[in-house]
Structure formats: C-alpha cells, structure tokens
Amino acid sequence: MKYNLLLAVIFLLFSCQSEVKKENLAQLNGYWEIKEVEFNNGETKEYKVNETIDYIEVKSAKTGQPLVGFRQKVMPQFDGTFKTNGIRENLKVFEVDNAFFLECKTDYGKWNEAIILLEDSTLVLKNKQDIIYTYKKFKPFSLK
C-alpha cells in the first residue's frame, strides 16, 4: 500500500511539471501581465486589472551565446501604444543543471529568478525568497 501511494505521489509531481526547453526561450519576448503572486507562506494575491505590464526583450548576439536583453515596465494606452518611464532591468538568461534563470540587474541591485514554466501564454518565475510570479501574455484592449 505504501509503495503504491509513493508511486502515485511521484507520478503526480512529475506529471504536473513542465520542463523549460532552450528552444522555447524566445517565448520570453513580448508583453507580460502579472496574474498572480504566491508568497512563501502559501498566501496568494490575484491581479484582475494592471496599470503596468512587463515588456521583455531577449536575443542572442551570436549563435551559441546566452540570451541577453531587458525588462521594462510599460503602461498600455487606449490607442494601443505604451508609455514608459525609461527604466530598464538588464537581463541575461543562463542555464544551471538543466534549469533556466533570469539574471536581473539594475543600478540598484542584481538578483536571479528561476524560470519555472514558459509556454506561449504563461510565464512563471520564482525568486530566492520562494515567491512565485505567474504572468499571462498581455492582450491589448480595444475600444472598438
């Protein structure tokens, strides 16, 4: 009985995980809207409406080189444009033991975030405080 339960738990853990693949890292590019934050105490905060969203742009300068770029807060406008304060976080994507991380750097600090899930419309990041940030691709609103 214990053996069956252990197998079931292991199966559930592995079946719920999604491995981030190197060839999918280009999906980081684009506009991401925060959907939910899960704190390390188990509490969650859902975001229904966001005044700002994150724009991420990463690319490789040469084949085989790490992806580098930036993340910037932008404010979507009703006419489809975006406003920003011009402040950018420099980003570098790196791999450790088949896991991918964002190295984020500003004039004020440097930190890493693990890329837990990266799909076409979902991005999940985890910081060293075990806070999990779930993003969804931003869909522009229209007055039409």
pLDDT at residue 4, as a whole number: 42
CB 134 within 8 A of CB 36: yes
In whole angstroms, give the CA distance from residue 56 to residue 49. Answer: 19
pLDDT tens for the chain, residues 1 to 144 = 444 433 333 333 333 445 899 989 999 999 999 999 999 999 999 999 899 999 999 998 777 788 999 999 999 998 889 999 889 999 999 999 999 999 999 999 999 999 999 999 999 999 999 999 999 999 876 665
Residues in the chain: 144
Q: What is the pLDDT of residues 54-73, one digit of tens each?
A: 999 999 877 778 899 999 99
Number of Cβ atoms within 10 Å of the Cβ of 5: 9
| Beta carbons within 8 Å of 114's beta carbon, 6+ residues apart | 99, 100, 101, 125, 126, 127
pLDDT at residue 10, as a whole number: 38
Q: Which residue has the tokens 């939910």?
A: 36
pLDDT at residue 29, as a whole number: 97
